[in-house]
Structure 1
Amino acid sequence: MSSITKIQPHDTCLTPVLLFAIYAQLNHLLLLVPVGLGSCDIFTGGWVRDPTGPPYTNNSCDTIQHHQNCIKNGRPDSDYIYWRWTPRDCNIPRFEPKTFLHFMRTKSMAFIGDSISRNHVQSLLCILSQVERPVEVYHDKEYRSKRWFFDSHKFTLSVIWSPFLTEAKIFEDNDGHASGAVRLHLDEPDSEWVNEFNKFDYVEIVAGKWFLKTAVYYENNTIVGCHICKIENVTELGFDYAYRRALQTTLSFITKSDHKVYTLFQTTTPDHFENGEWNTGGYCNRTVPFQEGETELRDIDTIMRDVELEEFKKAVGDTNGSTLKLFDTTHLALLRPDGHPGPYGAFHPFEGKVLNAKVQNDCLHWCLPGPIDSWNDLLIHILLGE
């Protein structure tokens, strides 16, 4: 390591591998330097048992939303927290919070999208809070959009609730029960994040499952079609039409903006409901990951993923100086049916109920700690690769 210590900060020819090693040394860390950085597909691999466990616990992190606090809510097994994503052809270091905060000093990062985005932010917060406790400096009325500040590093982290990424009028309660069709403007990026966009250095965007909802589609403030709306003289266009148009609008705004932002575009997250959906008795009671070849994407997720890859390919070829990266977590998520809250999104859900009582399951979001923590290993790998 002595040769590394002689490298000066102003050297401009440092490789990503050396940068990672320098950050590790500066923070007195023992890290495994990645092999094949820049040439390895980090999204192809498998889940490997990791006896060291997660970098935090539900006791050492107080920002876990109660729906994801599976251990506190009484989940009896814990094997699901002892797995780590491992790429097939290279090693990547475990996420190191000191390194991340050093890299993000004076910067601002936002996660824009639906509840999967919020789930990811909570995981990142839990890991970072082991080094520095952030201060929540903003939340909206429904506590769906929030902002935190890490004073020692002058780093701002935000989550912005925008489940369609474009402008939408939603008629739905907090339990997911709708009183009317969503009014979705496919050609107008959502002002919730657009109005804040110039403040960000990094953004991660994600959408998907909300496009399956009943919706009426607008372009130029005119109805162009709908999805399962059953309105006379309104054409059924399907969710994939809307998803494609919304992604085109979003990616076009980002890549054509004069404000250049480093953007991660995350792919769809499949759910693992079995024998029903979230509102029809579906459940997820598996306790180990799938192995390669044991499962495959459902038709709906395949359609979404195909749209995402097609629109990303078009957008990345015309970025006008901004940076756009694919954050391809679909396959990672597909292999983890064991990592969801299931019935343990509620506090001790079977307490006081008869044996084999039916309760609502969450087979889409992730327990914290849980599989989603590995997404941060990939996040820092991509950022340091730049």
Structure 2
Amino acid sequence: MESSNPIEELHQPLLKKLLCYPLYVIFPILLIHFYLDPFYSSSTNIIIQTPFTNPITTPPPSLPFSLCDYTEGEWVPTEAAPLYNGSTCATIKNGQNCMAYGRPDRDFLFWRWRPSHCDLPSFSPSAFLRLVSNKHVAFVGDSLARNQLESLLCMIASAAEPHLVYTSGEDNKFRRWIFPSHNATFSIYWSPFLVKGIEKSAEKNFNQLFLESANEIWAKDLKDLDILVFSAGHWFLHSAVYYQNGDVLGCHYCENHTEIGFYDVFGKALKTAFESVIERGREMDVILTTFTPAHFEGDWDKLGACAKTAPYKEGEKILEGMNEEMRRAGVERVQEARARARDSKVRFRVLDVSKIALLRPDGHPGPYMNPYPFANGVGEHVQNDCVHWCLPGPVDAWNQILLDLISRGS
């Protein structure tokens, strides 16, 4: 056995030491490189900028996983106030401006998400703006997509003012803002099915979805988009008839057609949307915000439908049933799209917030979707919103993770 006596090592030839010492440096570097980019490609360079560095040119990352598992962790108290409030941000939808509408408690504002195995940096508005300089960020989906974008705009607006340059549709379903200081554009596209669809009406009390075609409302603009965030799911729970290639595929909660549920249909809609991006889009980042659970614990029109004022503790509530199935459908479709896009310039990622959202029953407007609902006492019927999120509120953490995903390039 070779001796490890330090006195004997002093007598080893100088040449041997000169050859060995560089290996001690090179080998760890190679290991780190392989860990960060195990499938290194020599494709065209891209520019990546983090909150802590100036722009640098580096090969595009090809990580098959995220560097941080954000899904495991807990909500912990914090003394740090949100970056904005109901009076400092002009883009909050009225029904989610809980403080301005008279919500009396404030504890729901002072929690932060702490992952179990990594650190989640605080949101930096200036860092986000640097990352999206000269880019177009689009949120596509339902009212929860709008909820997340309005949160993001409020967070960024603490550093620079957004200018509303376009609005259209009932309840401002289509809007666009620019940040002139960074030539950054943000848009919201109302498309609750992602694919072509006809929403229910007084004449037809069911939705109609055409699963083979992406909704041209957003797909026609793919050539102009750089970061695309999809967020949809809750509209798939409604009564609907599904069509594919001109034929009725089935329906959910309707008459005269075969009941096929909505899990597989949701997956098909995501697949169509993702394929449209791959086929018609340019180089871009595509991020899916996973399904966020509602917290109705009583009748939607009665007092106390979502009355909790603190998060669930770790293990107190688990993701299961419909909530888990919708999350799983989204994650699996992203994994499939990532494999299909391997030779393209489209990068697919998951913003997995289903469990994070599940643990925040206190974060919804509840009765404060309307201004001062109890000014004249508690009525027989009290409207409650236990689906969307107060602004500021837990949804701000989604954008905290979004920033970290984009800056890491994972």
Report the TM-score when normalising by structure 1.
Answer: 0.86
Mapped contact 1:350–1:357 kept (Cα < 8 A): no
Give the match's secondary structure for 2:103.
coil
User: Partner residue of 2:367?
Assistant: 343
Q: 1:151 aligns with which of 180, 184, 197?
A: 180
- Counterparts of 1:150 and 1:156 in 2: how far apart (Å)? 6
- Counterparts of 2:53 and 2:231 in 1: how far apart (Å)? 32
Q: 1:21 aligns with which of 40, 52, 73?
A: 52
User: Partner residue of 1:253?
Assistant: 276
Shift of the 279–299 alpha-carbon distance from structure 1 to 2, 3 Å rule, reads: farther
User: Partner residue of 1:181?
Assistant: 206
Give the match's secondary structure for 1:338.
helix
Mapped contact 2:51–2:128 kept (Cα < 8 A): no
Counterpart of 1:120, as a letter, is: Q
Give the match's secondary structure for 1:21.
coil
Alignment map for 1:191-210 (pairs within 5 Å): 191-210=216-235
User: Partner residue of 2:311?
Assistant: 289
Q: 2:289 aligns with which of 244, 266, 273?
A: 266
Mapped contact 2:196–2:216 kept (Cα < 8 A): yes
Matched residues, number? 354
Per-residue deviation, residues 135-175 of structure 1 (Å, max 9, x unmatched): 111111211111001111111001111000001111248xx
Counterpart of 1:295, as a letter, is: K
Establish whether residue 324 from structure 1 lines up as the match of residue 348 from structure 2.
yes
Counterpart of 2:189, as a letter, is: I
User: Partner residue of 1:103?
Assistant: 131
Q: Which runs of 5+ in 1 are unaligned?
A: 1-11, 25-36
- Counterparts of 2:398 and 2:206 in 1: how far apart (Å)? 33
User: Partner residue of 2:111?
Assistant: 83
Shift of the 172–120 alpha-carbon distance from structure 1 to 2, 3 Å rule, reads: farther
- Counterparts of 1:172 and 1:58 in 2: how far apart (Å)? 33
Establish whether residue 58 from structure 1 lines up as the match of residue 80 from structure 2.
no
Shift of the 216–38 alpha-carbon distance from structure 1 to 2, 3 Å rule, reads: closer
Alignment map for 1:136-147 (pairs within 5 Å): 136-142=164-170, 143-147=172-176
- RMSD over aligned CA atoms reads 2.3
- Counterparts of 2:302 and 2:243 in 1: how far apart (Å)? 30
User: Partner residue of 1:27?
Assistant: none
Work out which of the two has the higher radius of gyration on C-alpha atoms and give 1 or 2.
Answer: 2
Range with greater deviation from structure 2 (76-85 or 299-308): 299-308
Mapped contact 1:43–1:328 kept (Cα < 8 A): yes
Give the match's secondary structure for 2:334.
helix
Establish whether residue 47 from structure 1 lines up as the match of residue 75 from structure 2.
yes
Range with greater deviation from structure 2 (237-246 or 153-162): 237-246
Counterpart of 1:221, as a letter, is: G
- Counterparts of 1:13 and 1:44 in 2: how far apart (Å)? 33
Counterpart of 2:357, as a letter, is: A
Mapped contact 2:271–2:333 kept (Cα < 8 A): yes
Shift of the 14–195 alpha-carbon distance from structure 1 to 2, 3 Å rule, reads: closer
- Counterparts of 2:334 and 2:254 in 1: how far apart (Å)? 29
Establish whether residue 225 from structure 1 lines up as the match of residue 254 from structure 2.
no
Shift of the 365–19 alpha-carbon distance from structure 1 to 2, 3 Å rule, reads: closer
Shift of the 14–44 alpha-carbon distance from structure 1 to 2, 3 Å rule, reads: farther
Mapped contact 2:311–2:362 kept (Cα < 8 A): yes
Per-residue deviation, residues 86-142 of structure 1 (Å, max 9, x unmatched): 111111221111111111111110011111110001101111111111111111121
- Counterparts of 1:307 and 1:38 in 2: how far apart (Å)? 18
Per-residue deviation, residues 4-55 of structure 1 (Å, max 9, x unmatched): xxxxxxxx99998x9432259xxxxxxxxxxxx9632123211111101211
Shift of the 299–14 alpha-carbon distance from structure 1 to 2, 3 Å rule, reads: closer
- Cα deviation for residue 255 of structure 1 reads 2.6
Shift of the 165–136 alpha-carbon distance from structure 1 to 2, 3 Å rule, reads: same
- Cα deviation for residue 290 of structure 1 reads 0.4
Establish whether residue 300 from structure 1 lines up as the match of residue 322 from structure 2.
yes
- Counterparts of 1:385 and 1:19 in 2: how far apart (Å)? 7
Shift of the 301–291 alpha-carbon distance from structure 1 to 2, 3 Å rule, reads: same
- Counterparts of 1:236 and 1:357 in 2: how far apart (Å)? 36
- Cα deviation for residue 237 of structure 1 reads 1.2
Q: Which runs of 5+ in 2 are unaligned?
A: 1-43, 56-64
| Aligned-pair identity (%) | 37
Shift of the 188–15 alpha-carbon distance from structure 1 to 2, 3 Å rule, reads: closer
Shift of the 167–62 alpha-carbon distance from structure 1 to 2, 3 Å rule, reads: same
